[in-house]
Amino acid sequence: NAGVTQTPKFQVLKTGQSMTLQCAQDMNHNSMYWYRQDPGMGLRLIYYSASEGTTDKGEVPNGYNVSRLNKREFSLRLESAAPSQTSVYFCASSDPGNPPSPQHFGDGTRLSIL
């Protein structure tokens, strides 16, 4: 029972390089999320997808793009990486029913931008 799977687990990039972080969930959840975690700042929402075919900005979307490829997969792209994007990135999924299911998280991608 994999839950939410993120790849890669670690990545080092040079400033200006691009990359895509992958996320897949096997719980048939409608909603998916991308967060970044920085020391002393908790988790901040970058983008989310309430349902397949929709994406919306969160609290800190600048410098990122997302694609909801299908119900299972939600990717996060950095077009031109900057040192300020050094962080741990988490993907999560949930079902916004009544009651809503809690968000389930992947193990994270640790990204360093040099």
Partner 1 sequence: GEDVEQSLFLSVREGDSSVINCTYTDSSSTYLYWYKQEPGAGLQLLTYIFSNMDMKQDQRLTVLLNKKDKHLSLRIADTQTGDSAIYFCAERPILTGGGNKLTFGTGTQLKVEL
- In the complex, which residues of this chain contact partner 1 (CB under 8 A)? 4, 31, 33, 35, 40-45, 48-50, 56, 58, 90, 92, 94-96, 99-108
| Choice between 85 and 103, CB closer to partner 1 | 103
Query: Closest distance between partner 1 and the C-beta of residue 81, in Å?
Result: 22
Cβ atoms 27, 104 nearer than 8 A: yes
Residues in the chain: 114
Look-up of token digits 């970058």? 46
Tell me how far apart the alpha carbons of residues 35 and 29 are, in angstroms, rounded to a whole number. Answer: 17
Query: Closest distance between partner 1 and the C-beta of residue 100, in Å?
Result: 5
| Choice between 14 and 98, CB closer to partner 1 | 98
Tell me how far apart the alpha carbons of residues 4 and 73 are, in angstroms, rounded to a whole number. Answer: 10
